[in-house]
Structure 1
């Protein structure tokens, strides 16, 4: 019986190499969404032989600086963080991308961030049925209310697009 070495990134459940290989063969930019215990981070990457390069990145701490009240990891915050990342990516010349979830499950917060990127103008293949409803994106289910449209207009004014 031969021993087959298991790579450390597989053992630690950090990389799904089958999914990554399929994604890299397309040679398209890709979007990653990380949701931690407190924040949401959205990045748009360009795959290269020497390693992936980050084209644009957005963090939910930006919302806090603009007067966001409440959680920075909920559905409206994920949507706005995705919207900000999408606007930054378009400003740097990105036109289309694909969603890469890696070893993480595709959740409603990831879907909200993806909808934000699509609403910003980046073309990403996605099914509309997976997105959260507009009531949830606008935060009508939350006790702490924030005006999502006001934050979108703030992002539009601050981020230059090409």
Structure 2
């Protein structure tokens, strides 16, 4: 192991590949709550997080597993699920009195059309004020699940109309 006066030991979470402290500091310095989007192998998680001295505090959270309660029948880790989860998150945040946020995708790659940006599009469509650029958002066909219904019609069924129906059901909860 390297030693000496010029050797720098990185922070533990940076060493583990969990946190980019430079990006985190720039997000925290804005003073706006963060819309944290995380994707796992099975679901999409969207949270509204504010920093506190003891650690970050989660104010509102939405999980793609909750979409089954609205009648969603597709995969909970897909692009349409991310879109609907973002929409559900925005409705919860707006009902709780939070109207704006900034996007925090963590260590996920910022690839145009990615699922994290589908969640962003869902939140923006529901009325949450989040700054973004149009070029990163997925196509409308991908948000509705047309690409899934095209290559797997026997599994997807009528996914496009299901996504539209769930989106309407979620928007009805907006107070």
TM over 0.5: yes
Indicate yes or no: 2:169 matched with 1:154: yes
User: Is 1:14 matched up with 2:14?
Assistant: no
Q: 1:28, 1:47 within 8 Å by CA — same for their partners in 2? A: no
Q: TM-score, normalised by structure 1?
A: 0.92
Structure 2 distance, partners of 1:119, 1:160, is: 12
CA RMSD, aligned part only?
Answer: 1.4
Structure 2 Cα separation of the partners of residues 69 and 148 of structure 1: 9
Structure showing the higher helix proportion among its residues: 2
How many residue pairs align between the two structures? Answer: 160
Residue 122 of structure 1, aligned match among 120, 128, 143: 128
Give the 5 Å matches for 1:4-153.
Answer: 4-107=8-111, 108-143=114-149, 144=156, 145-146=158-159, 147-153=162-168
Which stretch of structure 1 is more off in the superposition, 74-83 or 139-148?
139-148
User: For the Cα contact (< 8 Å) 1:32–1:101, is it kept in 2?
Assistant: yes
Please, which runs of 5 or more residues in structure 1 have no aligned partner?
Answer: none
Are 1:112 and 1:132, in contact at CA under 8 Å, matched by a contact in 2? Answer: yes
Q: Which runs of 5+ in 2 are unaligned?
A: 150-155
